[in-house]
């Protein structure tokens, strides 16, 4: 059998396999082709990946009452789905990140960071229903099948026409198709989530309010991090623009439920449930307080330059500054036998997949606050021009070391190196009393009193910037919208 005939034979077999695997999905009512991932395989994937995802996003949030509330609402929505016999799992994540995730096999995850921006149970139900929709529509299986099919199609084009450029073009087209399909998946999950909300008598307008809240929250986060409005073209988004999703969802509601106000919001129940919920970083994972980063468990701190936006993850602190200047901070346990120079070299090598493009030069030892340190610098060439990359490592004690990675466009090194040097010099140990004094921020639900305004209540919040913007985002208040006496609202305070 010749190579060309063999490839054609494989293509025919693939098409027959797809046709033979055609079934009608009861959730979508449409035929689906998922020969490469069976429901049992989906369940196995979900069971394998679920604990990894939970660990990556801070673990479970240890509030049994709130977690049980999320599970109860989720179970009712799942029972209203086309897979009522599936053993769905609903996990509240201890993460400030604003997001929710679905894994095949019935695993739904929602972060406390997202929960903070809901104003009622219907809004929460809309997100849980949306994620259930991803599972019932078998979106993971469909994407996996299409990735295999179109990947094979692109490779086949290269075999048959012997033109790698054209094969790449076909592959690019396949990727664009997958992105388009992903947008359809999101829209389909919005529709399915609405269906489940209506069956559980939740106010369907909660899905619109939720999308509007996410739109406001995204603008707040962009402003806080100095990014401005996201201008990514709609064609290359893996999710539809929020404004388009709002419009589509409102159209569905008008068609399916002309009197949505008769349904349940359960606003007071929801606010009672999240009253006292942690907001922002967990002190056990490090917190950002203005320009300071403090870690209660590791008992360390440093102060970033003014004007840098700080973001904290489970493994690294990221600082984004003006003029494309940025830094990273990380570290942890090391062998007591590890020398400072070896640690610096290993940290440098870890930044690159292969060998570093240049060695660190100008190696100098450091000493500050009873700690030894070491630093080195290299000039690298990137697509955007030359960069000066400096590593500064501090030996915290015999078993722990931490380091900064400073990245500065070479033309701006003289301007920013001194400011970043002050930050690395500010690295310090916290005393037991200083560490004990670090308390989390929490959501507190209060009742608006006569004379209270957005400005006055925002002024009570124990955050360090953009207080009014955060207050409006937390409470779903648009620009210029005012408060009413007796209204229940959320504020953020230490506690």
In whole angstroms, give the CA distance from residue 344 to residue 325: 21
* Whole-Å CA distances, 372 to 296, 363, 367, 394, 403: 22, 14, 5, 6, 12
The pLDDT-based confidence of 181 (bands split at 50, 70, 90) is very low
Residue 308 has pLDDT above 50, yes or no: yes
Say if pTM beats, i.e. exceeds, 0.85: no
- The lowest-confidence range among 81-95, 358-372, 402-416 is 81-95
- Which residues lie below 8 Å from residue 13, measured CB to CB, with a gap of 6+? none
pLDDT band at 240 (very low <50, low <70, confident <90, very high): low
**190 near 133, Cβ under 8 Å?**
yes
* CB contact at 8 A, 359 and 444: no
Can you say whether the dihedral through the CA atoms of 460, 466, 468, 474 is positive or negative?
Answer: negative
- Alpha-carbon span 48 to 42, nearest angstrom: 10
Cβ(137)–Cβ(25) below 8 Å: yes
Higher pLDDT pick, 42 / 488: 488
Quote the CA–CA distance of 169 and 175 in Å, as a whole number: 10
Instruction: Say which DSSP state 23 is in.
Output: E
**Taking residues 164-180, what's their average pLDDT?**
36
Mean pLDDT for the stretch of residues 381-409? 94
Helix 267-274 / helix 64-79 crossing angle, nearest 10 deg? 140
3-state secondary structure of 303: strand
DSSP 248-299: HHHHHHHHH-S-GGGSB--HHHHHHHHTT-EES--GGG-EEETTEEEETTTT
Phi first, then psi: what are they for 191, rounded to 5°? -65, -45
CA angle 434, 61, 263 (to 5 degrees): 130
**12-26, 244-258, 368-382, 433-447: lowest mean pLDDT where?**
12-26
pLDDT at 157: 32
pLDDT band at 437 (very low <50, low <70, confident <90, very high): very high
Mean pLDDT of 463-487: 91
Q: What is the DSSP string of 27-75?
A: TT-SEEE-TT--HHHHHHHHHHHHHHHHHHTTSB---HHHHHHHHHHHH
E-strand spans in 65-111?
89-93, 100-103, 107-111
128-137, 168-177, 474-483: lowest mean pLDDT where? 168-177
Domains of the chain as residue ranges with CATH: 12-274 (no CATH), 286-436 (3.40.1000.10), 440-494 (3.10.350)
How would residue 173 be classed by pLDDT, with cut points 50, 70 and 90?
very low
């Amino acid at each position: 059998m010749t190579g060309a005939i063999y490839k054609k034979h494989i293509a025919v077999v693939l098409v027959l396999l797809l046709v033979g695997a055609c079934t009608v999905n009861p959730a979508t009512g449409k035929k689906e082709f998922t020969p490469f991932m069976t429901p049992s395989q989906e369940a196995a994937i979900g069971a394998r990946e679920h604990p990894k995802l939970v660990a990556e996003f801070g673990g479970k949030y240890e509030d049994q009452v709130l977690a049980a509330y999320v599970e109860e609402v989720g179970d009712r929505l799942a029972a209203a789905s086309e897979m009522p016999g599936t053993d769905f799992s609903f996990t509240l994540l201890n993460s400030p990140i604003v997001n929710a995730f679905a894994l095949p096999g019935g695993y739904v995850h929602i972060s406390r960071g997202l929960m903070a921006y809901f104003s009622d149970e219907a809004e929460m139900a809309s997100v849980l229903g949306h994620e259930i929709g991803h599972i019932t529509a078998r979106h993971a299986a469909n994407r996996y099948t299409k990735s295999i099919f179109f990947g094979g199609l692109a490779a086949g084009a290269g075999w048959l026409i012997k033109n790698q450029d054209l094969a790449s073009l076909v592959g690019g087209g396949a990727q664009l198709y997958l992105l388009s399909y992903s947008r359809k998946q999101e829209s389909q999950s919005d529709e399915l989530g609405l269906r489940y909300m209506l069956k559980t008598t939740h106010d369907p307008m909660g899905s619109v309010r939720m999308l509007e809240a996410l739109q406001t929250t995204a603008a707040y986060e962009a402003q806080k991090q100095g990014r401005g409005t996201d201008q990514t073209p709609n064609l290359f988004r893996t999710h539809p623009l929020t404004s388009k999703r709002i419009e589509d969802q409102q159209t569905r509601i008008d068609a399916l439920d002309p009197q949505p106000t008769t349904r349940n919001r359960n606003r007071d129940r929801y606010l009672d449930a999240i009253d006292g919920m942690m907001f922002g970083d967990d002190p056990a994972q490090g917190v950002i307080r203005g320009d300071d980063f403090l870690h209660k468990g590791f008992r360390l701190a440093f102060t970033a330059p003014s004007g840098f936006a700080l973001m904290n993850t489970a493994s690294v602190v990221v600082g984004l500054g003006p003029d494309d200047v940025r830094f990273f901070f990380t570290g942890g346990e090391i062998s007591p036998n590890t020398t400072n120079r070896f640690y610096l070299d290993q940290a440098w090598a870890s930044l690159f997949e292969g060998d570093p493009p240049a060695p660190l030069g100008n190696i100098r030892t450091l000493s500050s606050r009873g700690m030894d340190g070491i630093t080195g610098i290299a000039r690298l060439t990137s697509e955007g021009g030359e960069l000066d990359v400096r590593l500064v490592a501090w030996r915290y004690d015999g078993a722990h070391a931490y380091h900064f990675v400073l990245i500065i466009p070479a033309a701006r090194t003289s301007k920013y190196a001194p400011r970043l040097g002050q930050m690395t010099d500010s690295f310090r140990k916290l005393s037991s009393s200083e560490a004990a004094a670090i308390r989390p921020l929490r959501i507190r639900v209060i009742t608006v009193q006569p004379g209270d305004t957005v400005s006055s209540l925002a002024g009570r919040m124990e955050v360090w910037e953009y207080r009014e913007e955060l207050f409006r985002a937390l409470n779903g208040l648009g620009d210029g919208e005012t408060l009413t006496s007796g209204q229940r609202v959320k504020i953020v305070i230490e506690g």
